[in-house]
Amino acid sequence: MRVVVVNGSPRADGNTNKAMELIIQAAKSKTHTLEINRYHLDALSLKGCQGCMMCKEPGVKMCIIEDDGQALLRDMFEADAWILGTPVYMGHITGQMKLLLDRTYGYLAPGFVLKLPAGKRGVAVITQGRREPDAYRNVIEFFSSMFERRQFASGECMVVTGTDGRACGDIAFASEVLATASAAGEALTGS
Ligand SMILES: Cc1cc2nc3c(=O)[nH]c(=O)nc-3n(C[C@H](O)[C@H](O)[C@H](O)COP(=O)(O)O)c2cc1C
């Protein structure tokens, strides 16, 4: 099973990355056949969608912008599962994650016909300072509807709350985080 892991936080090994690694560990305990490809968006040269509409031309499979997004979007096209992680910034996903996800518009042919193979599995990891798990329903709905519209077989959101004031990495030891990561790992592998 091929899994693409995308860290949308500028912090390479912050809370978001820690939470995603816990999911990977949980998934690995379910299946030994995981191939993991990790990407840190902030370290990539990634342009936003230019609205060129070349992705709607016949025979074009995805976004044509020639930057680091090409390899990542190709990997996402072919992978069986995605783990997408972002901290909440100003009430939404980070700019880095938005740049990438706008470019998944290229997976759609005219009339919103999906070119992306259906049936992938997805987990969105959302970390936030606020303690209320539903403080950012907009972010949960954003990912849930993206998974649904891309015809994923399953699309879960893991919300990690109250990260502010904790040392970076402390979340890895919080029991509630371990439990939700374990459930997310199961959802990812379907076992
Ligand atoms: C610029 C900035 C904006 C933030 N905005 C919010 C916010 O709107 N709501 C919230 O709950 N936390 C907010 N936070 C806190 C982060 O979401 C939280 O600390 C997150 O776990 C950081 O993840 P990281 O360690 O992977 O970077 C913000 C942090 C930064 C740096």
**Residue 107 is part of a domain; what is its CATH number?**
3.40.50.360
pLDDT number for residue 176? 77
Q: Which of 73-77, 89-93, 164-168 has the lowest mean pLDDT?
A: 164-168
Q: Using a 6 Å cutoff on CB, does residue 77 contact ligand 1?
A: no
Structure tokens at 94: 């980070």
Q: Using a 6 Å cutoff on CB, does residue 16 contact ligand 1?
A: yes
**Interval 149-178 mean pLDDT:** 80
CA of 153 to the centre of ligand 1 (A): 30
**Cα–Cα distances in angstroms (integers) from residue 152 to residues 82, 99, 113, 146, 182, in the given order:** 10, 21, 14, 9, 20
> In this model, does residue 72 exceed pLDDT 90?
yes
- Burial code (b: 16+ CB inside 10 Å, e: under 16) for 101-125 equals bebbebbbeeeeeeebeeebbbbbb
Which amino acid makes up residue 47?
K
Q: Using a 6 Å cutoff on CB, does residue 56 contact ligand 1?
A: no
pLDDT number for residue 178? 81
For 51, other C-beta atoms within 10 Å of its C-beta total 8
Are 189 and 29 contacting, i.e. CB atoms less than 8 angstroms apart? no
Atom of ligand 1 lying closest to residue 16 CA: 26
Q: Using a 6 Å cutoff on CB, does residue 15 contact ligand 1?
A: yes
Question: For atom 30 of ligand 1, which residue has the closest CA?
Answer: 89
The best mutation among 128, 132, 138, 140 to test binding of ligand 1, ranked by most ligand atoms within 8 Å of the C-beta, falls on: 128
> For residues 44 and 41, what is the distance between their CA atoms, to the nearest angstrom?
5
> For residues 14 and 167, what is the distance between their CA atoms, to the nearest angstrom?
9
Question: For atom 1 of ligand 1, which residue has the closest CA?
Answer: 89
Q: Please give the residue range of the domain that contains residue 140.
A: 2-189
- State pLDDT tens for residues 19-30: 999 999 999 998
pLDDT number for residue 168? 61
Structure tokens at 117: 């193979």
The chain-wide mean pLDDT, for the chain, equals: 93
pLDDT number for residue 163? 87
State how many domains the chain has.
1
**Interval 79-107 mean pLDDT:** 98
